[in-house]
Amino acid sequence: MHGKSVPAQEMRALLTARKLLQTKYRDVTMSLRGFGLKVGSTTPRHFAARIRELVAGHATLTAIAAALLAARATLGTQLRDLDKRRRDQARADKRTRLLMTAPGVGAIVALTFVAAVDDPARFRSSKAVGAHFGLTPKKYPSGETDITGRISKIGDASVRTVLDEAANVILTRPVTGSALKSWAARLARRAGLPKAKVALARTLAVVMHRMLIDETPFDAQRAAARA
């Protein structure tokens, strides 16, 4: 059992708090859209004015909208403050900047991975990282059969989520690191996109851990060879 360092715990707390505020902000916004009002297409800047315009003349809806808009404004302010702190922390952390040289890896992916791994040396090999975060298939050996199932999904779910998002970016958007993208695209054509995303997420975990151990930036050819 690994006891997380204080910096890793603080980094994880920041990400958790940011995610909570983001979720609540979205919930309040969707609640305001759920009054049966035809809000239509609008921007975050003009959303509040549009809601006030639609509820004008309806006393009960006006009171409810005022309360929810006030809560939304407060959540938005606090979310922006934590976002700034998150960006500052990503810029200040050497390991995070290193991981962000990999395709599809932004500040949130890098911070989440660094906080979860904490001490890269605690893993005997980079290949163990994929299994640690539940990205390797389950095995069902019985007699002469050995059935391979779905991924185990053990360990930190937030790491699997961000690695899956990074894999999706690599597969669906123009990114650097074409060798790794080409390998994943070939796998997607052969086995399907969902399996290719999981395999790419697992490979990213291995590659990112190796980057932390070696203290070297992303190398597309080495990453593809490892895959």
Domain range for residue 61? 6-92
Same domain, 100 and 110: yes
Do residues 109 and 161 make contact, with C-beta atoms less than 8 angstroms apart? no
Same domain, 119 and 211: yes
User: Over the Cα atoms of the chain, what is R_g?
Assistant: 22
User: What does the DSSP 8-state code read for residue 2?
Assistant: P
Question: Which range is least confidently modeled, 37-46, 47-56, 76-85?
Answer: 37-46
Locus of tokens 């399907």: 192
Residue 80 resides in a domain: yes
Same domain, 82 and 99: no
Locus of tokens 């609008």: 42
Same domain, 210 and 110: yes
Question: pTM, whole model, 2 decimals?
Answer: 0.85
Q: What's the pLDDT tens digit per position in 138-170?
A: 766 666 665 566 788 888 899 999 999 999 999
